[in-house]
Structure 1
Amino acid sequence: MSDDAPRLWMAAEVSARDRGLLYGDGLFETIRVVRGAAPLWHRHEQRLIEGCRRLRIPCPDVGEVRDALKTLVGGWDDATARLTVTRGEGTRGYAIPPASLPGVFLSAEPSRLPSADDYRNGVAVRLCDLKLAQQPALAGLKHLNRLEQVLARSEWSDASVTEGLLLDGDGRLVCATAANIFAVFGDDIVTPPVERCGVAGVARAEVLALAGARVADLNLDRLRDADEVFLTSAVRGILPVRVFEARQWQPGSVVRRLQAHWGDLGLPLPGVAQGLTE
């Protein structure tokens, strides 16, 4: 087996009656690990704990998971791991079992990041036809049911388009299929709320923790007026948007500052590590 082959660690065997498999009843985290360190782990941990609380799933021992993660990615300089937590096995039907043993699964493989050119010059995005359903009970969670994102991503096969933007049913911009979105207006850095739908990304949380970033509704007209637009995700980090429809942007000072911050965290980005922000 190649040393680059995906690796798997399971705290429980996968049952055909696992509720994560049957109903999407669970959560997941996608974690970038560089030279054995996961700089955003504390944010993944916080989101996992909160997600388990909201779904009423017993949270696994995060210390045990962290130790297993370090062992799993050993020998890789830059790895991407997925932690999946399900409610575990249950009887037939939607009712939550009175007692269940959560399933905990880790998989990992070497990271595959966008190109240095994408980080330097930005990527193209398109608008998806699919609209996100508004469900506050699940909004913000990285739950296992990603069918909306699967269908949205199936809308294009053009390799020159990196991401698709998603609106809710009222025409408000929410996110991309696998990333959160930020728009910059002068000194104002804005990202849409995720209290109605969408995922509260850990990279989004990192940017919001910095001075000047805030949450506010965005529509497409407002987006087109932005000075800079960028995507955030736990693995890809800060990815500038270069073109959307007829609108084009150049990565500006906000994107460069945040890309440099990612390097300072210990999450280097291709093209940025070669003195892009010096």
Structure 2
Amino acid sequence: MTYAGYIGRECVGEISVANRGLNYGDGLFETMRVHRGALPLWPRHLARLRDGVKRLGIALPDPVFIEARIEETIAGTEAGVLKLLLTRGDGGRGYAPPVDAQPVWTLALHPLPSMPAALRLHLCETRLAIQPALAGIKHCNRLEQVLARAEVERAGCEEGMMRDTEGRPACATSANLLVYRDGRWLTPPVERCGVAGVLRGWLLEQGLAEVADLTANDVECADALALCNAVRGILPVSMLGARAWAAHPAITDLQARLAMAYPMFSNPAVAA
């Protein structure tokens, strides 16, 4: 792993124990696919990051400076995963955010791991809290996903489907949910909980998917099920509990359309 940390424009070797991201999860992050020394989805990640800092009231360091450090970090990398973590900065004890905190941010470059071409999905008991103030952005409070992911590991599956506290299908632990029914790809809304995935956003803009309130029965009776995120691309689900799905041409078609726009997804068997 290649790592670098910054306070504003200053490169620092260590993150302080007073960092609010460490103490309270007071921050945001983006996990991005590196392809041939570039981040093809960076504009979409930056747009979501801007939304996040606006909502949380965190200062955003100069994007031009961030982009320059990203270019240095990923130069010569054929394939990988870059994580950008941005916190409010250091502060004293207590929840109240300091007004003069300088944002602290880090870049970490990881290898691109392999993953099965189809996923077995575990139905997680851990639920996502409904919180519109945080819904959509990729904030650092991820204990729900941590608990859900532990369930997935115990079940021996590759991913898990999460529901909100009212029982509606919401997402996977680290991906958006895609349900194919009656010739349409449907994905749950993210205004109450969940993350507005950048790849999900692309699919919606292209008219390849549409937002719909989904029920457990919609998932159970789906003609096909898939997950998507900005590192994995689109991956089919082969099993959820006792329900199994065979390979479906609608998934192959969706993968092909994505690969035409972003060639890095021409091989879908990779994951975050």
Query: TM-score scaled to structure 2, two decimals?
Result: 0.91
Deviation of 1:159 after TM superposition, in Å, equals 7.7
Gap regions ≥5 residues in structure 2? none
Deviation at 1:156, TM superposition (A): 3.5
Task: Determine the structure 2 residue equivalent to 1:268.
Answer: 265
CA gap of 1:159–1:75, structure 2 versus 1, over 3 A, is farther
2:204 is matched with: 208
- Give the letter for the 1:223 counterpart: V
Answering whether residue 42 of structure 2 is matched by residue 41 of structure 1, we say: yes
Secondary structure of 2:124's counterpart equals: strand
Aligned partners of 1:139 and 1:199 also within 8 Å: yes
What does residue 3 of structure 1 align with?
none
Q: Deviations over 1:110-130 (max 9, x none)?
A: 211314xx1xxx211010111
1:11 to 6, 9, 28: 6
Equivalent-residue separation in structure 2 for 1:144 and 1:94 (angstroms): 15
Task: Select 1:232's aligned residue among 228, 237, 254.
Answer: 228
Asked whether the equivalents of residues 83 and 104 of structure 1 are also in contact (C-alpha less than 8 Å), the reply is: yes
Contact 1:164 1:176 survives alignment (8 Å): yes
Q: Identity of counterpart residues, as a percentage? A: 43
Name the CA distance, whole Å, in 2 between partners of 1:41 and 1:258: 21
Normalised TM-score (structure 1) = 0.89
Structure 2 counterpart of 1:276: none
Is structure 2 residue 108 aligned with structure 1 residue 110?
Answer: no
Cα distance between partner residues in 2 of 1:94 and 1:84: 20
SS in 1 for 2:125: strand
Q: How many residues align?
A: 262
| CA–CA distance in structure 1, aligned partners of residues 69 and 251 of structure 2 | 34
Structure 1: distance between partners of 2:182 and 2:235: 19
CA contact (8 A) 1:184 1:227 kept: yes
Displacement of 1:185 in angstroms is: 1.0
Confirm whether residue 186 of structure 1 aligns to residue 187 of structure 2: no
Match of 1:143 among 123, 139, 150: 139
Against the structure 1 CA distance between its residues 262 and 216, is the aligned structure 2 distance closer, same or farther, given a 3 Å change threshold? same
Please tell me whether the aligned partners of residues 123 and 162 of structure 2 are also in contact (alpha carbons under 8 angstroms): yes
- Cα distance per residue 1:130-175 (max 9 Å; x no partner): 1111111111111011101001111143585111111111110000
CA separation of 1:16/1:67 partners in 2, compared to 1, >3 Å: closer, same or farther? Answer: same
The alignment's C-alpha RMSD in Å is 1.6
Q: 76-85 or 251-260: which moved more?
A: 251-260
- Please show how residues 74-223 of structure 1 align to structure 2 within 5 Å: 74-115=75-116, 118=117, 122-157=118-153, 160-223=156-219
Deviates more, 1:227-236 or 1:68-77: 68-77
Shift of 1:269: 4.1
Could you tell me which runs of 5 or more consecutive residues in structure 1 were left unpaired when the two chains were aligned: 1-5, 273-278
Shift of 1:253: 3.0
